Amino acid sequence: MATPPRADFDPLPPEPPLSPDTRCILVELGKLSGAVVWLVETVKQHGEKIDALRDDMHGIHRKIDIVKGMLYAVLGMIALASLLLGGKFEALTAVIKALAK
């Protein structure tokens, strides 16, 4: 195969040597970019932990709601029984005490 013809162009001038200040800045930028990558990974891990904790808390809140519902139902039955029986509790306790003697 024939090589493609070269276009006439001016070559790029050589890069000037880096000053110590520029080298220091480049080193610090490298350190900072590494720290940013570490920070992003850490935040992602914490986000996953928070999501897992939120899911666990949702389950706990469901269980608490079920217990509250049962408690309200029992209290409602007690209130209904006291309304139906009214003042008959004293009579019932008197009969039980009389039978116990």
* Residue 3, pLDDT score: 64
Per-residue pLDDT of the chain (101 residues; tens, 9 = 90+): 566 656 666 677 777 777 888 888 888 888 888 889 889 999 999 999 998 888 888 888 899 999 999 988 888 888 777 777 776 667 777 777 887 77
Find the helix or strand (DSSP H, E) in which 69 lies.
Answer: helix 20-85
Among residues 45, 27, 49, 25, which one has the least CA distance to residue 37? 45
Pairwise CA distance, residues 38 & 32, whole Å? 10
pTM over 0.75: no
**3-state SS class at 19:** coil
Find the helix or strand (DSSP H, E) in which 96 lies.
Answer: helix 88-100
**3-state SS class at 3:** coil
